[in-house]
Amino acid sequence: MRSKIADIKTSTDPKQWAIFPRQELIFKHIDENGMLNPIVVDSENNLQFGGCRLQYAILRGWNEIDAVVCDDPYEVTRLQDEQFLFEYTFLEEQYIERKQQEDSNGYNNNMVSI
């Protein structure tokens, strides 16, 4: 679905986020190939992952972005894992971002973000 960027909630303003080499590589990939993957938000429009893509869209003045709405933490993890595999197609491993997320059972899951 298409989401209005102005409705997407983040804890800080994406215009103020730093741009590191990882973001530059992702931005270059989007410039060359288009935005191939949606961001993920929950049902209240809180960004779950896809911050680099959201930042790219905001910095380029987009009004809308493709988004998947997901409130299920296991599905969010699955979607992030898919993104993790996609990142490996064009990013060197040092730029793959991994996060640890503790699930409701107290287990740590490796998560990635792009």
Overall pTM surpassing 0.85 (yes/no) = no
Contact 58, 19 (CB under 8 A): no
pLDDT of 102 > 50? The answer is no
15: three-class secondary structure by DSSP? helix
pLDDT digits (tens, 9 = 90+) for 72-96: 999 999 998 888 777 767 766 666 6
pLDDT of residue 82: 87
First vs last C-alpha separation in the chain: 19
Go through the domains of the chain in sequence order and give each one's CATH number: 2-8+15-113 (3.90.1530.30)
pLDDT digits (tens, 9 = 90+) for 54-72: 999 999 999 999 999 999 9
pLDDT digits (tens, 9 = 90+) for 6-45: 999 999 999 999 888 888 988 999 999 999 999 999 999 9
